[in-house]
Amino acid sequence: MELMTAIGYLGLALILGSLVAKLAEKLRIPDIPLLLLLGLIVGPFLQIISPESAMKIFEYAGPIGLIFILLGGAFTMRISLLKRVIKTVVRLDTVTFLITLFVSGLLFNMTLNLPYNCPIGYLFGAITSATDPATLIPVFSRIRTNPEVAITLEAESIFNDPLGIVSTSVVLGLVGLTSSVNPVIDLITLAGGAILVGILLAKVYEKIIIHCEFHEYVAPLVLGGGMLLLYVGDELLPSIFGYGFSGYMAIAIMALYLGNALFKMAEKHEDYEYVVRFCDDLSLLARIFIFVFLGACIKLSMLKSYLLPGLMVALGSIFLARPLGVFVGLIGSKHSFKEKLYFALEGPRGVVPAALAVTVGIKILKNADKIPTTITSYISPTDIAGTIIIGTFMTVLLSVILEASWARILALKLLGEYKPKYKEDINH
């Protein structure tokens, strides 16, 4: 694909995506379903953008877009608010996340008549288990309900986004698409290394920003650090030592620490605002690119072949895996049955699953010869990629449409009106 052609496709996606997003804002509905449908229209339906071109663009837009989104989301998360819900968030991001992953994977394998222990199903589970409550924020802003619920869902996503990426990397090792000696060691090095390196870089940046006046240049400084974390953790160290750390998780940890450090410093509030505005603008671009090109990369033949199994695994992930994970994960917690039910029914999937699905699909198609025959004897690489992409597409589309639609009704029915107890609750 020629450079000018790619620029044209990106420009078209931004123009049409902006119009569609504005329409969604007017209609007071999430923009994700409309952006996905826009991708389908300009891609397989009108064939303005070919699926092959969309996938080539996504190879760059997906990973870079994830950097913007993780950086912006974690940078604005306040630790003071997080402390109030930390016990619930830890449960949701460990027990609930893992149960959702394994149940989604089991349902995937059952749907496609694969062995129960086939890693392909659990690859789908890892990709689709990360939540994205961004679609619910407008809903919470229009109703008076317990703000701790909104904080919990937002914090859950901040941490399970990088966890979804880490778990996907681990399962890819089982599929033969990444170098893996031991999945447990992989998980420890990916997550543990990310936490250590993320905090270290954040402390370095904190010292630099305190002693230097960067003004508007602080934003590209922080973004550049995030990009380097991804390169060092996911490419440089593995190529030298065989092990690295999750660059995406390191980005989230760095942003969380640095954002809170700058927020507390009155004299650095301007620097904090520069980074927030910069990340907000870039995150908007990333959302448009990721969802439009996810829709555009789908072929009509792929949609016809994998629509039914994709729909089945999507419904299983939304209505069985997530609720089961929430209720088991919150056993013995302070939350009432109604609050648990709300958490169970409000875990929409979004940017991270969408980006991971296409990235993994491309990796599978490019490295089909590396997948073990113990897997390909049951399902071809083309079918693996197609089912994962369509299954994720349907999971994102249905979860956003359904859960955003009933979010306000369920909040009022299950949680009721709320009177603020803390000063922060009034502004959240």
Give the residue ranges of DSSP H helices in 330-416.
Answer: 337-345, 351-366, 373-376, 381-410
pLDDT at 226: 95
- Give the integer Cα–Cα distance in Å for 360 and 294: 12
Res 424 pLDDT > 60? no
C-alpha pair distances (Å), 350 with each of 16, 279, 311, 330, 375? 20, 18, 16, 23, 28
Question: Looking at residues 169-178, what average pLDDT do you find?
Answer: 87
In this prediction, residue 2 carries a pLDDT of 87
pLDDT, position 393: 94
Rg value, the chain, Cα: 21
125: number of CA atoms within 13 Å, CB side? 29
- Residue 382 and residue 184: Cα distance in Å, rounded? 29
For 5-14, what is the mean pLDDT?
A: 95
Contact call for residues 128 and 344 (beta carbons, < 8 A): no
Give the residue-averaged pLDDT of 158-177. Answer: 88
Query: What is the overall mean pLDDT for the chain?
Result: 90
The DSSP call for residue 392 is: H
pTM: 0.87
pLDDT tens-place string over residues 140-151:
666 667 778 888
Chain CA centroid to CA 56, Å = 20
When pLDDT is averaged across residues 373-384 and rounded to a whole number, the result is 94
**Residue at token pair 């819900």:** 85
Residue 155 confidence (pLDDT):
85
pLDDT (tens digit per residue) in 298-332 = 999 999 999 999 999 999 999 999 999 999 999 99
Residue type, 428: H
